[in-house]
Structures are given as structure tokens and as C-alpha cells.
């Protein structure tokens, strides 16, 4: 299991990853939100631990705004906010902006570990009924997909693959993850997935290609107006 820690305090950049690694977790460190964006784009994680406040170009930036934006895009990763802001209003704000847990500094290492492991066991946050990415809208309840307002006809596995990719926008999703999720781990190989991806791309015609193949690894749903 892999955790991303987003922290700009130099002491906590050492202490928090060390604590989580003591619980046998793989841990990556991002020193600011831009760094976090890059790491989330490249890697897959089971949980993210965010410090609340960062200083960027001499101004204070709250990671709540970043998490809130990613949630609106359909992002479902469990998030724990780690912060010195300890009022009730601060804690409520954290949950309302997409946090799953909120731990106030100073904290006990044992409590941090327990909370992160609990979030990982709980799994991704409940997905919204409507997931949007670029000009694609996926309705998880009605199981319909539209692109630029045009209703598309997708087969069951095509819908499953697209839904899984849209729940992890701009993150690398391995071929094994997709096969295990959409074919229930029944031993299908990546060739079956590749055929499904080809068909899905054909059905999503009418705009830029949103599905990027990462050779030898898997696929990523990209934002045609941004990086990638």
C-alpha cells in the first residue's frame, strides 16, 4: 500500500514518512501542491496526507481548495488533513472540502498510523453519481455516458474501464488493476483490455483522445487542455 505525504515543514517531511514506513507502508513525499500534482499524475496511491497551508510565491495557499477541486473532477482517494488549525470551524471546513479525516498538530505517531490505515481499509471515497472529465459525463446510477452532450452507447466492459479511469483522473492505472477490477480477476490478459480500450476510444470520438497508453504499464485519463 502506498501513501503520498504532502508537507512543507522540514522536520515533518522526515517524521511523517518515517512513521508511516514503520507500519510497512510505501511512502512518497511532495513538498508542495505542484509537486503533489506531478506525483499524483505519475503514481497510484491508497491515501494522501495533506498539510493544510503552503507558501507559494510569497502567498499562503490552502490545500483544501486543491482537494475540493479534485473531488469535483471525480477524485476518490482517501485524504487526511494534518494541520495546526484546530478550531471546530477548521475541522468542519476540512470535511466539507473533501477530507476524510483531520488530525491536529502536534499529534501522536501511533494515532497518525491508525488513522491512515483506517482510511486505506475504508478505500476510495464514495463516488458522486455524476463523474465529469473534460467534456465527458458519466452517470454511475443510470450507467450512461455523454460526450459534449451526445449520448454514447458503451458495452459493459467499456463502461467499467471508463468509469475506473474517470474515478482516477490523470493517475496511472495499471493494466492489472483494470483487468482485476473489470474482469473480476478471472485470469484475462492485457490483450483483452487493449481491445476494449481500442473500442472505447472509437466510441469516444468527437473530441481529443482522452486515454493515454503508458507503454508496459497501463493507461491514464488525461486532460487534453493540460499536461500530458
**Helices 156-166 and 190-203: angle between axes, nearest 10 degrees:** 90
pLDDT over 80 at 47, yes or no? yes
pLDDT in tens, 134-172: 999 998 777 899 999 999 999 888 988 998 899 888 889
pLDDT over 60 at 187, yes or no? no
Phi, psi of 143 (to 5 degrees): 55, 50
Distance of CA 67 to the CA centre of its chain: 10
CA distance 78 to 60: 24
pLDDT over 50 at 28, yes or no? yes
Query: What pLDDT is attached to residue 114?
Result: 92
Domains, the chain, ranges and CATH?
2-122 (3.40.50.2300), 130-221 (1.10.10.10)
Going by their DSSP bridges, the two strands 150-152 and 79-83 should be labelled as: unpaired
Three-state SS sequence of 42-75: HCCCCEEEEECEEEECCEEEEHHHHHHHHHHCCC
Q: Identify the band that residue 79 occupies on the pLDDT scale cut at 50, 70 and 90.
A: very high
Nearest alpha carbon to residue 26 among 34, 17, 35: 17
Q: Identify the band that residue 46 occupies on the pLDDT scale cut at 50, 70 and 90.
A: confident
Going by their DSSP bridges, the two strands 2-6 and 47-51 should be labelled as: parallel
Nearest alpha carbon to residue 128 among 163, 157, 170: 163
pLDDT over 80 at 40, yes or no? yes
Query: What pLDDT is attached to residue 14?
Result: 93
Amino acid at each position: 500500500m502506498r501513501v503520498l505525504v504532502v508537507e512543507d515543514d522540514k522536520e515533518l517531511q522526515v517524521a511523517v514518512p518515517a512513521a508511516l514506513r514503520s507500519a510497512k507502508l510505501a511512502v512518497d513525499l511532495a513538498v508542495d501542491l505542484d509537486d503533489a500534482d506531478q506525483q499524483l499524475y505519475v503514481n497510484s496511491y491508497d491515501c494522501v496526507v495533506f498539510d493544510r497551508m503552503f507558501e507559494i510565491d510569497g502567498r499562503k495557499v490552502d490545500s483544501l481548495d486543491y482537494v475540493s477541486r479534485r473531488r469535483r473532477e471525480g477524485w476518490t482517494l482517501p485524504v487526511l488533513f494534518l494541520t495546526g488549525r484546530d478550531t471546530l470551524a477548521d475541522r468542519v471546513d476540512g470535511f466539507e472540502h473533501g477530507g476524510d479525516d483531520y488530525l491536529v498538530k502536534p499529534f501522536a505517531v501511533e494515532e497518525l498510523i491508525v488513522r491512515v490505515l483506517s482510511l486505506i481499509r475504508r478505500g476510495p471515497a464514495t463516488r458522486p453519481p455524476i463523474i465529469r472529465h473534460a467534456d465527458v459525463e458519466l452517470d454511475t446510477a443510470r450507467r450512461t455516458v455523454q460526450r459534449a452532450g451526445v449520448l454514447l452507447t458503451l458495452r459493459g466492459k467499456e463502461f467499467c474501464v471508463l468509469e475506473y479511469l474517470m474515478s482516477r483522473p490523470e493517475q496511472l492505472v495499471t493494466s492489472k488493476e483494470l483487468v482485476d477490477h473489470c474482469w473480476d480477476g478471472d485470469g484475462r490478459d492485457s490483450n483483452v483490455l487493449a481491445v476494449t480500450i481500442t473500442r472505447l476510444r472509437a466510441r469516444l470520438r468527437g473530441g481529443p483522445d482522452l486515454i493515454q497508453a503508458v507503454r508496459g504499464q497501463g493507461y491514464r485519463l488525461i486532460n487534453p487542455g493540460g499536461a500530458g
